């Protein structure tokens, strides 16, 4: 019987890391999890910034794929220094790239390196001025000036991925994921406009959110395309497919409710009718729309948890999130609660270097 390909998952105690560790065995892979925090999905405790630790892990397993989800991210801005962001997100990524591209088993090199990035890497392109049309964000949108150290370090790490892919021939894919964190929105104004947490998350699926189960499937698609030689380098937005088109951008910036109310899902069900029955609210303005069509087209990604599906589920009184999302739950980001971000459960690990990008 053939051995399952080994997949190194960094940040295995975090939201996406746990999701990958739980899902990959059912998909025919053998995940090996590393994290600085212990958890029931972490195989080895250690830091991605420690080359000797990484070398030992690669020497102990015949690693076929790497999914690099470990990171310091937006919630850590209030608790970690800029130097720590640079050390983890840039130096740590480089250390991992260098070990992965010089595998100790030359006859069986790493077949793919999947870097989990964030739509925050687009910087201020995501926030057009009040009164301007909403921004259409696709894979060709340029990165403008960065909003914070999180976006800057993730964008720089993407450039390192491209450099090593070119120099060493390491098949590499960057996935710029939109938000899939389970906590409340960290924007007080958005929480005030749409106070119901579920209400806001369903709305976000239309333009800036993705279910963690669909992120897992995007990772697998990227691994498979690299392994078969279809892709040697690529960068893709991973976000739930939007029901909007470019022709909606002006209206979305002025009257998002009007646009959303008229959308139909399923067999003639209007979004407005479903929201009214739930006494849910709409956002006044939508400032950006993520276009993930290239990932669907070139990676063969088939996202299941779309905005339309969520509204249909809500209309039927059924759960709209994936079962995997419920299994992962809220893992927290800090040793103590900070704002809307939940406290890390020390018994189950949590968010040190782990992946749950915010954008």
Residue 359 in domain: no
Residue 336 in domain: no
**CA–CA dist 86, 64 (Å, integer):** 27
Residue 339 in domain: no
Q: Give residue-wise pLDDT tens across range 177-205.
A: 999 988 777 788 888 999 999 999 999 99
pLDDT reported for residue 353: 44
Residue 351 has pLDDT above 70, yes or no: no
Torsion sign (Cα): 340, 35, 101, 149: positive
Residue 15 tokens read as 């939201």
pLDDT reported for residue 339: 52
pLDDT reported for residue 354: 41
CB 116 within 8 A of CB 69: yes
pLDDT reported for residue 74: 79
Residue 80 has pLDDT above 90, yes or no: no
**CA–CA dist 190, 171 (Å, integer):** 39
**CATH, residue 37:** 3.40.50.720
Confidence of residue 302 (pLDDT cuts 50, 70, 90): very high
Residue 352 in domain: no
**CA–CA dist 87, 269 (Å, integer):** 50
Residue 218 in domain: yes
pLDDT reported for residue 1: 39
Q: Give residue-wise pLDDT tens across range 153-183.
A: 999 999 999 999 999 999 999 999 999 988 7
**In the chain, helix, strand, coil percent, each to 5?**
40, 15, 45
How many CB atoms sit inside 10 A of residue 128's CB?
15
- Give mean pLDDT, residues 103-111: 79
pLDDT reported for residue 330: 77
DSSP string, 63-129: EEEEEE-----GGGGGTS-HHHHIIIIIIHHHHHHHHHTT-S-TTS---EEEEEEEGGGGGGGG-PP
The mean of the pLDDT values for the chain is: 90
Residue 335 in domain: no
What's the domain range around 286?
6-328
Q: Which residues pair with 176 in a beta bridge?
A: 117, 237
- Give mean pLDDT, residues 126-130: 91
Give the count of domains, the chain: 1
- Give mean pLDDT, residues 293-311: 98
CB 72 within 8 A of CB 150: yes
Q: Which residues pair with 31 in a beta bridge?
A: 7
CB 209 within 8 A of CB 151: no
**CA–CA dist 289, 241 (Å, integer):** 10
Residue 220 in domain: yes
Residue 149 in domain: yes
CB 257 within 8 A of CB 275: no
């Amino acid at each position: 019987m053939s051995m399952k390909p080994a997949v190194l998952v960094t940040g295995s105690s975090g939201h996406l890391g746990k999701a990958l560790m739980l899902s990959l065995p059912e998909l025919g892979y053998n995940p090996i999890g590393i994290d600085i925090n212990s958890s029931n999905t972490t195989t080895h405790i250690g830091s991605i910034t420690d080359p000797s630790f990484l070398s030992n892990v690669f020497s102990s397993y015949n690693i076929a794929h790497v999914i690099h989800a470990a990171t310091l991210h937006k919630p850590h801005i209030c608790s970690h220094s800029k130097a720590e962001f640079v050390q983890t997100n840039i130096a740590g990524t480089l250390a991992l790239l260098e070990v992965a591209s010089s595998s100790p088993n030359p006859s069986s090199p790493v077949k793919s390196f999947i870097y989990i990035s964030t739509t925050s890497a687009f910087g201020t392109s995501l926030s057009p001025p009040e009164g301007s049309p909403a921004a259409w964000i696709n894979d060709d949108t340029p990165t403008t000036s960065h909003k914070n150290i999180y976006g800057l370090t993730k964008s720089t790490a993407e450039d390192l991925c491209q450099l090593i892919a070119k120099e060493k021939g390491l098949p590499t894919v960057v996935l710029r994921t939109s938000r899939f964190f389970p906590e409340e929105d960290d924007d007080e104004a958005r929480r005030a406009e749409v106070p119901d947490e579920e209400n806001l998350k369903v709305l976000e699926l239309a333009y800036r959110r993705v279910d963690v189960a669909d992120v897992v499937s995007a990772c697998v698609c990227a691994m498979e395309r690299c392994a078969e030689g279809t892709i040697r380098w690529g960068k893709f937005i991973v976000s739930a497919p939007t029901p909007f088109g470019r022709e909606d951008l002006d209206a979305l910036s002025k009257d998002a409710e009007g646009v959303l109310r008229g959308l139909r899902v399923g067999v003639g069900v209007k979004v407005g009718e479903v929201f009214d029955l739930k006494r849910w609210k709409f956002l006044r303005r939508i400032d950006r729309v993520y276009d993930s069509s290239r990932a669907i087209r070139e990676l063969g990604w088939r996202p299941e948890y779309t905005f339309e599906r969520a509204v249909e589920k809500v209309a039927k009184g059924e759960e709209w999130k994936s079962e995997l999302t419920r299994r992962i739950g809220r893992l927290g980001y800090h040793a103590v609660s900070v704002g809307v971000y939940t406290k890390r459960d020390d018994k189950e690990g949590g968010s040190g270097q782990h992946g749950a990008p915010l954008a």
